[in-house]
Amino acid sequence: MKDTDNINPDEYDKIMSVISKEYIENKDFEYVQNFYNQMLENPTKYENKVILIIQGYDDDPRELFEIKEVREYFSTLDKLFPYWFYFIYRKIEEGYSSLKLIMLLLVPCEVINLNNGKKSIEYDLEEYAKFIEIHFHYFNELTDKLNMTIQENERICSEIHKNYN
Judge if pTM exceeds 0.85.
yes
Instruction: Please give the pLDDT value at position 151.
Output: 95
C-alpha span between 46 and 89 (Å, rounded): 9
Using CA atoms, how far apart are residues 79 and 119, in angstroms rounded to an integer?
31
Percent of the chain with pLDDT over 90: 67
Distance of alpha carbon 153 from alpha carbon 159, whole angstroms: 10
Burial class (CB in 10 A: 0-12, 13-18, 19+), 84: buried
Q: What is the C-alpha to C-alpha distance for residues 87 and 47, in angstroms, rounded to an integer?
A: 5
Per residue in 8-38, pLDDT (tens digit) is: 777 778 899 999 999 999 999 998 889 898 9
Confidence of residue 1 (pLDDT cuts 50, 70, 90): very low
Q: Give 117's DSSP letter.
A: S
Which pairing describes strands 15-20 and 50-55: parallel, antiparallel, or unpaired?
A: parallel
**Three-class secondary structure of residue 133 per DSSP:** helix
The DSSP code sequence of 79-94 is HH---HHHHB--S-BT
